[in-house]
Amino acid sequence: MRKELHAPVLAAISAGGVLGALARYALARAWPHPPHGFPWSTFVINVTGCFLIGVLMVIVTEVVTHKPLLRPFLGVGVLGGYTTFSTYVVDIQRAAAEGAPLVALTYLTLTVVAALLAVYLGTVLTRAAVHR
């Protein structure tokens, strides 16, 4: 990357990250869960974020290819700040430690399957919509 592009890219990522993290925080605060319960807010955040990543990748590679800051702002920034796979791991550990290993195992498996499916669906549905 050319040196003159570093500052705008970092600014786009930072601004997007703030927006994504604020959205995640608001959703997690509005939809809390007990340590032994299924962490629905984190699950929904990660799955919807993965769906939107699929949508975004089609848009930035096939539709809007002339906006160099769109991908860093939305992909790395907003969606990187919104999704939280580190919290996913902590939620798994917390559920197991609180005596809910079935919740931990279900959450572990379901999140991976749902997140991968969401990226795939986001990509396929967006590509179909774009090419209609």
17-46: pLDDT as tens digits: 999 999 999 999 999 998 889 999 999 999
Contacts 24+ apart (CB under 8 A), 83-88: 83/20, 83/24, 83/45, 83/46, 83/49, 83/50, 83/53, 84/24, 84/42, 84/45, 84/46, 85/46, 87/28, 87/39, 87/42, 88/39, 88/42, 88/46
User: Nearest Cα to 56, choosing from 75, 82, 80?
Assistant: 75
61 vs 81: CA distance, rounded Å: 21
113 vs 47: CA distance, rounded Å: 9
Residuewise pLDDT in 10s, the chain (132 residues): 566 668 999 999 999 999 999 999 999 999 999 888 999 999 999 999 999 999 999 999 999 999 999 999 999 999 999 999 999 999 999 999 999 999 999 999 999 999 999 999 999 999 999 998
Domain that holds residue 86: 3-130
Q: What's the confidence (pLDDT) of residue 3?
A: 64
Q: What's the confidence (pLDDT) of residue 14?
A: 96
- Has this prediction a pTM greater than 0.85? yes
Q: What's the confidence (pLDDT) of residue 35?
A: 85
| Domain tally, the chain | 1
